[in-house]
Amino acid sequence: MTKILYSDDLTTCFSTWRKEGIMTFGPVQEAGNSGFREVQDEKELDMNLILTSRTLKELFFPRTEPMLSYSIGKQQIETSEFLPSEKPCIIFGARPCDAAGMAMDDELFNWDYRDEYWFRRRSRSVIMTIACSTSDDFCMCTSLGLGPDSAKGSDVLLRPLASGKGWLVEELTEKGDKALQSIASLLKEGTEEAAPTAEVPVLFDLEACTTWLADPENFESHFWKEISERCIGCGTCTYLCPTCHCFDIQDEGDTYEGIRRKNWDSCSFQLFTMHTSGHNPRNTQSARWRQRIMHKFNYFSLKFSVNSCTGCGRCTRECPVDMGVRETLQAISTLQK
């Protein structure tokens, strides 16, 4: 016997959570674009999306966020902090690839120094992930050692019923368990079967790729120029990546008062690494694409024993010049053989 949450009960489910003061989030369509935002009830959700065009990371690491506000007096500097509230949140309907990305970035944001902005949002949030029963041509979770029903980074995993009328419910963490307790009366026992998970083909040999990337000889290979010559450095792949975490810090205001912000940045941009002297360690677009691939599949894994890619496929799906991690790793996978 397993627990089942029926779609018909979702309205009550959301209203129960909200009555308890829990903020509810989920995938929504907005102006031809989709992403996660706060919803008042389940009717606002778009449950038919294979994957939102924007990622879950925006709920933990917003595109721009005020970190500090300052005001400067004659003999004093006053700083106050904008820290995220600890009000509990439930994110309903994340996908396994996005949820996994959050767990990967936990490592980075806790690397010796803890980023409170990230972790306050992480610790107040319960991620309820829905396993995928469909995929598209760009999905590549299985190539990255994950899958359409991976549990990594999720607090609750929901498996769609074969009947399409709801989900089998698996609690994965204490936080997830707590979120389910408040809707315990809505969870029915049953023997219904889950729909088969999506069949996502393996597109490249990840181990061959990481072996090739780890060889210092290949750092200056012509491959990098060839594979990225058409990159226009727009940064779309980094902004739509669940694990890309690079940011800039900028002040908005004058030297009397204002706000210090943390803004998304991108390794695709020339200014990202430019020294004041004019010297730029990564002065070409190919050096910058190499950085992105090396960071994900070599540097990050050297530090945190996991590659910083979940195979969501957005970098390929949304690239204006049809590049992306998929093409690069497929090509490397062939080179290594």
Give me the residues that bind other proteins (CB under 8 A), please. 23, 38, 59, 67-68, 70, 72, 75-77, 79-85, 87, 108-109, 111-117, 216, 219-220, 245-251, 253-256, 258, 260, 262, 265, 267, 272-277, 279, 281-282, 287, 291, 294-295, 298-299, 302-303
> Rounded CA gap, 77 and 114, in Å?
24
What is the distance in angstroms between the CA of the first residue and the CA of the last residue of the chain?
47
Q: Cβ 213 to other proteins, closest distance in Å?
A: 11
Q: Cβ 120 to other proteins, closest distance in Å?
A: 9
> Rounded CA gap, 47 and 61, in Å?
23
Q: Cβ 291 to other proteins, closest distance in Å?
A: 8
Q: Any idea how long the chain is?
A: 337
Q: Cβ 7 to other proteins, closest distance in Å?
A: 27
User: Quick one: 47 or 83, whose CB is closer to other proteins?
Assistant: 83
Q: 81 in helix, strand or coil?
A: strand
User: Quick one: 107 or 192, whose CB is closer to other proteins?
Assistant: 107
How is residue 88 annotated by DSSP? Answer: -
User: Quick one: 54 or 159, whose CB is closer to other proteins?
Assistant: 54
202 alpha-carbon distance from chain centroid: 21
User: Quick one: 59 or 141, whose CB is closer to other proteins?
Assistant: 59
Q: Cβ 224 to other proteins, closest distance in Å?
A: 10
Structure tokens at 279: 């010297």
What letter represents residue 228's amino acid?
S
User: Quick one: 282 or 326, whose CB is closer to other proteins?
Assistant: 282
Cα–Cα distances in Å, from 30 out to 18, 27, 134, 155, 161? Answer: 22, 10, 22, 26, 27
Token pair 């010796």 in the structure block, residue: 112
Q: Cβ 212 to other proteins, closest distance in Å?
A: 15
User: Quick one: 78 or 136, whose CB is closer to other proteins?
Assistant: 78
Cα–Cα distances in Å, from 270 out to 87, 124, 279? Answer: 39, 36, 11
Q: Give me the half-sphere count of Cα atoms (radius 13 Å) on the Cβ side of residue 31.
A: 0
* DSSP-assigned states of every residue in 234-271: --HHHHT-SS---EEEEEEE-SSEEEEEEEE--TTSGG
Q: Cβ 44 to other proteins, closest distance in Å?
A: 16
User: Quick one: 279 or 337, whose CB is closer to other proteins?
Assistant: 279
> Rounded CA gap, 213 and 66, in Å?
37
Q: Cβ 168 to other proteins, closest distance in Å?
A: 30
